[in-house]
Structure 1
């Protein structure tokens, strides 16, 4: 298996980037766009996206608002509408769900894909990945578009105006990327890029982690006042670009495995919050150096991502199933014999570590 690194055709980030959207959309050589997103996202950025498409001479063939689920029935509806509209470009506006839906729809109708994140809560925008759930909200599977987005357009003024918790959730995802890339490199596992882990992806994952450590608290302070500072620029890029490239071509492992296990135990809290907790559990599974575990705990507390199982609504009776599911969805890529029982014990221990840190 060869190393394989993939990336979007173009990644554009900066304050006021949506003001220049027309020039970026013009590079896509499209004629008819299917625009989709959540209600808040479209209310925030929809007019700027439509204006940019008009400047590029691209007709908005249909706009789908209220996107809040990435399930097979929802995807089928979007695909039917996009195909009937003759769309050759899908534009996803919003957060992780909108990105997943846009990626899956663009793949099925064979259209170009532009993603316009309005929050930096996930590292999905740059990837081929669409995470699909069942109607009950349980994880079902990961699907892949045949190529990365043609355009990722991030206006940091828009991101800075969103609630600070979304930036923190993205940092939870970015923190995990470093340790998961280490695990996949050590085990020689296959990444979401359909190859072996690349050296470049590991370096990007490490840089994402470093930026969150050094600039995360400053970035959160800024966005709490709707400010877009250099720290915000660094962290938004870490959450979106560095972590996105790092996870796809570097691999995911234990942290996301725990997140999937918790999701299938009925937890509906944000992805990045669960992945942050999952990182602590992953390190315990791996028997990582205590200083590393302590450093990650310090960081999660600093960016307000500390959480306990009780707060997630997870009881002792749920942990065996969490361990079983985790071992079916990535924990096998850890460089240890990660049995369901070992994972369940690690989740218990991660919970206790958070509790003890709070009591000190």
Structure 2
């Protein structure tokens, strides 16, 4: 049985790490092309210049306003980076900018640095880019052959983002343990095309433990723009542990339900959809009542508590979510139980009622 653990080449986290040359010490390239969102770059550009200059890396060009990840935008940025003779691509911002940077680095076979400015996603540590069309509809994936060479999480920057982004990231991380456990029980392969390692499963389980122990305090710290040990723990949980957990531990029903929601008029952030879907996954698998109770407790304590109507889904749309969640292009087949659209719909409705009764 082949096992495979995916991970970034280096992960550096801390308050002020962008401005220090030591943070970039693992880089081999000498010429950087920086891309990102307007706000993200306005918060980090001066510190990036300081850190890269100290590390002996020249900033050849900076491309702001990267607010969509489309194949046309990727192609345009590849041309710009080629003209700049860049050997290192640096993506700054949220999931869209980071996914775009991964696709550009893949096309050029360049070194890649991701610099998240919010902790709402595990995109900074993964190899995959999700690409959309001009209307915002899913258009495909780009799979880089390796994870980012360097992930730089400056908590002094991330703490300045609205608290809701930290909560969205916790919603996504909320699923990591339970999906990895499902994949391990079903003996399916992970995103890496192999079976999960014991280390991946341990990391995945630690995401839930950290949310339980530090999540509430981290949210309070974020409200007051305070970088505390709890805040640092949750940034690492949302960014690194969840990223390692999903790539090397695997995805199952929670993200399958998430894809089902995407085929409807659901109106909610990814993290909130995945958090609700995690409760539905636990119902689907008939997990131990103590585990379900613990999950519901965390779900409510962290302010993730949403019902189907809060997500923009009426009862009639549940069948659509369930049917699409069970299609061949989702990760529902990684479940250790047999799942039909009818059973999936029952799990969604039961999760909704459990959340209402909690």
Q: TM-score, normalised by structure 2?
A: 0.94
Contact 2:267-2:312 within 8 A present in 1 as well: no
CA distance in 1, matches of 2:34, 2:343: 45
Equivalent pair of 1:308/1:355 in contact (CA under 8 Å): yes
Gaps of 5+ in 2: none
The residue aligned with 1:6 is: 6
Distance 2:69 2:350 in 1: 32
1:175-213 deviations in whole A, cap 9, x for unaligned? 110000001111121211221111100000111110110
Q: Is the 8 A contact 1:46 1:93 kept in 2?
A: no
Is contact 2:190-2:251 (8 Å) kept?
yes
- Alpha-carbon deviations, 1:42-89, whole Å to 9, x = none? 111122113322333323232222222222232222223222322211
Equivalent residues, number: 356
C-alpha distance in 2 between matches for 1:98 and 1:109: 17
Aligned to 1:136: 135
- Higher mean C-alpha displacement, 333-342 vs 81-90: 81-90
Moved more, 262-271 or 292-301: 262-271
The answer to whether residue 334 in structure 2 is matched with residue 342 in structure 1 is: no
Matched with 1:235 is: 234
CA distance in 2, matches of 1:243, 1:27: 23
> Is 2:332 the partner of 1:323?
no
Question: Deviation of residue 290 (structure 1)?
Answer: 2.5
In angstroms, what is the RMSD of aligned CA positions?
Answer: 1.7
Counterpart of 1:275?
Answer: 274
CA contact (8 A) 1:184 1:333 kept: yes
* Cα distance in 2 for residues equivalent to 1:35 and 1:348: 45
Closer, same or farther: CA 140–280 of 1 in aligned 2, 3 Å: farther
Do 2:19 and 2:49's aligned partners in 1 also have CA atoms closer than 8 Å?
no
> How big is the shift at 1:268?
4.8
Map residues 14-53 of structure 1 onto 2, 5 A cutoff.
14-20=14-20, 22-53=21-52
What whole-Å deviation, never above 9, does each CA across 1:69-125 have from its counterpart, x for those lacking one? Answer: 222232222223222322211111111122211111111111100011111111121
Stretch of structure 1 that moved more, 99-108 or 59-68: 59-68
2:67 equivalent in structure 1: 68
> 1:269 and 1:51, CA in 2 relative to 1: closer, same or farther beyond 3 A?
farther
Partner of 2:250: 251
Counterpart Cα distance in 2 of 1:38 and 1:345: 41
| CA drift at 1:313 | 1.6
Residue of structure 2 equivalent to 1:202: 201
Supply the distance in 1 between the matched residues of 2:99 and 2:237 (Cα, whole angstroms).
Answer: 19
Mapped to 1, the partners of 2:316 and 2:33 lie a distance apart of 45
- Give CA-to-partner distance per residue, 1:328-357, whole Å, 9 cap, x none: 311111111111222122222222222223
Cα distance in 2 between the residues matched to 1:251 and 1:151 = 22
Which secondary structure does the structure 1 equivalent of 2:7 belong to? coil
- Measure, in 2, the Cα distance between the counterparts of 1:60 and 1:50: 7
User: Partner of 1:93: helix, strand, or coil?
Assistant: strand
